[in-house]
Amino acid sequence: MKKLAESLAEYKILVVDDERSIRDGVQRVLNRVGCEVATAQNGEEALDILKSDVISIAILDLKMPGMDGMELHQRIREIDERIVVIIITGYATIETAIDAMKQGAYDFIPKPFEPDHLKIVVNRAIEKIRLSREAEKLQAERERTLIDLDREKSRTRTIIETLPIGVVVTNTEGEVVLKNPAFMQSIELSSDPGPGELIDACVADDGFCRFVRKISTGDHGTEGEVPTYELCVSGNKYLLSRGRPVMNEKNECMGAVVTLSNITSLKMLDQLKSEFVAKVSHELRSPLSTIHEQLATVLKDMALEGAEVDHDIIERAKEKTNALISLISDLLDLSRIEAGSLAENKKPVQITELLSSIVDFLGSRASANGQSLTFQSGGKDIPEITADPMALESIFGNLVTNAINYTPAGGEITVSIETVDHQIKVAVSDTGFGIEQRHQEKIFERFYRVKDKNTRHITGTGLGLPIVKGLVDSMGGKIEIESQPGSGSVFTVFLPMETAAGTGQGSADDA
Ligand code: ADP
């Protein structure tokens, strides 16, 4: 009850009546229910109170000497429309009271009235004020949220505009819906092609446009990987683009957001590094080969002369120089692949014959290890492919050598070939140690070797598979691996019938 009284006290009521008994009666009744009440005996006095006090409800008698209730009602509306006006009226003035309501008065109470009737009408008026205030508050909140949203939007836009990397957003049609100045600078676009233009109108690189359009339709390749594409503008500026589809809350694709960063300096560093490796490798190889040959001669001479020296020491020195020579050869091969100068000498190759001779050549090594090495040509005619035979030898020589190295005695190694969808598919499978899932991606990185109880004693450089992958990529093919620890591995190479060296910089399939 106290709470209700406290809340009613918020709404100050003004009672205007020339009859003192009514003024006092109304005041008493409303004071009793906790309302604060001011009284005035005429219109002028009422207007004075309204100037200095905040009034929520005005209860006006219609018939008053001087300014009557109707006029006072008008004046109150001019001062504050939110003041709720209740008219007190005798039967004779009921029609005027209805007119007053038409002009905005809230209700009327006919004289004579019971206190309860007065309380009900006042309570309804208070409820109306409460609801209006609530509605005003909600409206203000809504406006504030809209302003905040607008501010947030313009803040996000400013951030995107000032980002140092290029950003372009497209819809599912591949039309540009947003691009920042860094994007325009990156691709050296002097004039803005305007909103809604296809990405092809902004960028001349077809591969990049295909890359953006593909992501715009929601196709972003392998889960968890960000598709990338490298493009070169104006001859010597390299850009790396990365993209992601933009999904809505229903997980539908709305388009793509693609960033462009300038990687020219990284490219130059990489090139310098490759040149450096190539130079150092080249300089090291000749003296090492000489030492290796001299050691072999010394060993031979010693055997002939029956000299009493530690044979093992020189034998180990020979093995080590041999390992260094193969490391250096691998490094040189990698540098050449990076420079795009390996797999350049393309000619028609009978790949079945090439594989058969690799199997023959490495067969003796396999049997020395107690393994079987077989070639399944599938009996069908495999067409010639146009490729660099040295590169093919390097790819399949490396894969078969690995199979021999990482398969224990008694194991089986099989090389098979078939054609699948205009591609040549060559699989090298073994029943060897296998490779745990967590290593399977990494073994294609330079110098990565799996070191466990099976492989620890096997020497290698960790460069064989990076060379294989580099060559397969440069031919426009792909390599896949399937392996189970303890059961063996299958490395499958797919090569297009027409191989082309030096294509396909992007990682998105058709980019
Ligand atoms: P290397 O054989 O000189 O170490 P590679 O790059 O050819 O270098 O191979 C990287 C690693 O991948 C190897 O160290 C080995 O752990 C693993 N690996 C490659 N081929 C096989 C295979 N057929 N079976 C099991 N492990 C393999």
432 lines ligand 1 (CB under 6 A): yes
Residue with tokens 């090139």: 271
CB 402 near ligand 1, within 6 Å: yes
Q: Give yes or no for residue 229 CB within 6 A of ligand 1.
A: no
Residue with tokens 């146009």: 386
Examine the domain organization and report whether 248 and 190 are in the same domain.
Answer: yes
- Assigned domain for 146 exists: no
Q: What is the pLDDT of residue 193?
A: 67
Centre of ligand 1 from the C-alpha of residue 33, in Å:
92
Q: Phi and psi of 494, rounded to 5°? A: -110, 125
Q: Where is the domain boundary, 221, 243, 262? A: 262
Positions of E strands within 151-308: 166-171, 176-179, 228-233, 237-247, 253-262
- How far is the centre of ligand 1, averaged over its atoms, from the C-alpha of 480 (Å)? 14
On whether both 174 and 227 belong to a single domain, the answer is yes
Whether residues 171 and 314 fall in one domain: no
- Compute CA distances 129 → 119, 132, 134, 383, 410, whole Å: 15, 5, 9, 90, 94
Residue 62 Cβ < 6 Å to ligand 1: no
pLDDT tens digits, one per residue of 150-187: 888 888 888 988 998 999 999 999 899 888 989 988 88
Look at ligand 1, atom 16, and give the residue with the nearest C-alpha: 450
| Token couple for 418 | 């078939």
Give per-residue pLDDT as tens, 368-396: 999 999 999 876 688 889 999 999 999 99
Please tell me the residue having the least CA distance from ligand 1 atom 12: 443
3-state SS, residue 424: strand
- Final residue before a domain boundary, out of 231, 262, 293: 262
Reported as a single tens digit per residue, the pLDDT across 350-360 is 999 999 999 99
Q: Given the CA of residue 330, which atom of ligand 1 is nearest to it?
A: 3
Position in ligand 1 atom list of the atom nearest CA 467: 6
In a domain, 149, yes or no: no
Hey, whose CA ends up nearest to atom 20 of ligand 1?
402
Q: Which of 331, 399, 405, 490 to mutate to test ligand 1, by most ligand atoms within 8 A of the CB atom?
A: 405
- Ligand 1 close to Cβ of residue 97 (< 6 A): no
Contact (CB, 8 A) for 348 and 385: yes
- Same domain, residue pair 127 and 75: yes
Element (H, E) at 481: strand 478-484
Rounded distance between C-alpha atoms, residue 89 and residue 111, angstroms: 6
Question: What confidence score (pLDDT) does residue 508 get?
Answer: 37
Contact call for residues 419 and 496 (beta carbons, < 8 A): no
For position 504, what pLDDT does the model report?
A: 36
What is the mean pLDDT of the segment spanning 316-322?
A: 80
Same domain? For 504 and 371 the reply is yes
Q: What is the CATH number of the domain that holds 171?
A: 3.30.450.20
Does 227 sit behind a cis peptide bond, omega within 30 degrees of 0 on the bond before it? no
User: For ligand 1, is residue 123 a contact (CB within 6 Å)?
Assistant: no
Tokens (6 digits) for 293: 């040959």
Residue 142 domain-assigned (yes or no): no
Q: Are 49 and 40 in contact (CB under 8 A)?
A: yes
Question: Residue 367's domain is classified under what CATH number?
Answer: 3.30.565.10
From the CB of residue 100, how many other CB atoms can be counted at a distance below 10 Å?
A: 24
With respect to residue 501, please indicate whether it lies within any of the assigned structural domains.
yes
Atom of ligand 1 nearest to the CA of 432: 24
Mutation choice for ligand 1 from 327, 439, 445, 465, CB with most ligand atoms inside 8 A: 465
- In this structure, are 255 and 114 located in the same domain? no
CB contact at 8 A, 476 and 511: no
Helix spans in 163-220 (H):
181-186, 199-202, 206-216
Residues 254 and 271 in one domain: no
Instruction: State if residue 433 touches ligand 1 by the CB under 6 angstroms criterion.
Output: yes
Residue 461 CB–ligand 1 contact under 6 Å: yes
How far is CA 391 from its chain centroid? 37
Q: What backbone torsions phi and psi does residue 456 show, to the nearest 5 degrees?
A: -55, -40
Distance CA 261, CA 239 (A): 5
Angle of helix 389-405 relative to helix 464-474, nearest 10 degrees, comes to: 150
Query: Distance of alpha carbon 51 from its chain centroid, rounded?
Result: 62
**pLDDT value, residue 308:** 63
Rounded to whole angstroms, what are the CA distances from 457 to 159, 398, 431, 497?
55, 19, 19, 39
Could you tell me the distance, in angstroms and rounded to a whole number, from the CA of residue 278 to the centre of ligand 1? 23
Which among 492, 400, 500, 501 has a CA at the least distance from the CA of 440? 492
Residue with tokens 């999904």: 247
Ligand 1 atom, smallest distance to 444 CA: 6
Q: What is the pLDDT of residues 129-158, one digit of tens each?
A: 999 889 999 998 888 888 888 888 888 888
Determine which residue's CA is closest to atom 19 belonging to ligand 1. 402
Cα of 434 vs centre of ligand 1, distance in Å, is 10
Q: What is the mean pLDDT of the chain?
A: 86
Residue count of the chain: 511
User: Per the structure block, which two tokens stand in for 449?
Assistant: 């070797």
| Residue 239: strand, helix, or coil | strand
What distance in angstroms lies between residue 34's CA and the mean position of ligand 1's atoms? 90
Residue 153 lies in a domain: no
Q: Is 403 in the pocket of ligand 1 (CB under 6 A)?
A: yes
Domain CATH for 296: 1.10.287
CA–CA separation, 308 vs 191, rounded Å?
83
Q: Is the CB of 435 under 6 A from ligand 1?
A: yes
Query: Which residue would you say has higher pLDDT here, 280 or 85?
Result: 85
- C-beta of 464 in contact with ligand 1 (< 6 A): yes
Residues 6+ apart with CB under 8 A from 91: 110, 111
Are 254 and 297 in the same domain? Answer: no
When divided into structural domains, the chain yields a total of 4
Question: Does residue 145 fall inside a structural domain?
Answer: no
CA of 337 to the centre of ligand 1 (A): 20
**Rounded Cα gap, residues 105 and 62, in angstroms:** 12
Cα of 228 vs centre of ligand 1, distance in Å, is 27
Encode 357-371 in three state secondary structure. HHHHHHHHHHHHCCC
Asked if 296 and 256 sit in the same domain, the reply is: no
Measured from the CB, is residue 489 less than 6 Å from ligand 1? yes
Residues 18 and 76 in one domain: yes
User: What are the tens digits of pLDDT across the range 203-246?
Assistant: 888 899 999 999 998 877 666 778 899 988 877 889 999 999 99
Least trusted range by pLDDT, from 1-5, 123-127, 480-484? 1-5
> How far away, in angstroms, is 473 Cα from ligand 1 center?
19
pLDDT over 90 at 495, yes or no = yes
Three-class secondary structure assignment of 440-473 = HCHHHCCCCCCCCCCCCCCCCCCCHHHHHHHHHH
Does the Cβ of 494 fall within 6 Å of ligand 1?
Answer: no
The reply to whether ligand 1 has any atom less than 6 angstroms from the CB of 430 is yes
Single out the residue in 318, 339, 360 at which a domain terminates.
339
Q: 195 and 257, same structural domain?
A: yes
Measure the CA–CA gap between 240 and 233, rounded to whole angstroms. Answer: 11
Report d(CA 55, CA 32) in Å as an integer.
18
How remote is the C-alpha of 343 from its chain's centroid? 36
Q: How far apart are CA 351 and CA 426, in angstroms?
A: 10
Residue 483 to residue 16: CA distance in whole angstroms: 96
Residue with tokens 């295909």: 210
> What ligand 1 atom has the least distance to the C-alpha of 407?
24
* pLDDT, tens digit (0-9, with 9 covering 90-100), for 260-317: 999 988 888 787 777 777 777 877 887 788 888 888 888 888 777 766 666 777 777 7
Q: Domain check: are 96 and 232 in the same one?
A: no
The Cα 314–Cα 307 span in angstroms is 13
Q: Rounded distance, CA 93 to CA 132, Å?
A: 29
Spatial separation of the C-alpha atoms in residues 149 and 146, rounded to whole Å: 5
pLDDT single digits (tens) 450-480: 989 898 889 888 889 999 999 999 898 999 9
Say how far residue 193 (Cα) sits from the centre of its chain.
26
Q: How far is the CA of 359 from the centre of ligand 1 (A)?
A: 18
- The CATH number given to whatever domain includes residue 31 is 3.40.50.2300
pTM of the model: 0.52
Query: Is residue 370 within 8 Å of residue 431, measured between CB atoms?
Result: no
300 within a domain of the structure (yes/no): yes
Please report the atom of ligand 1 found closest to the CA of residue 449: 14
pLDDT given for residue 251 in this prediction: 87
Any domain includes 152: no
Token representation of residue 209 = 């446009």
Sign of CA dihedral 178, 181, 186, 188: positive
What's the domain range around 244? Answer: 163-262
Report the pLDDT value the prediction gives residue 221, as an integer from 0 to 100: 67
- How many angstroms separate the first and last alpha carbons of the chain? 76
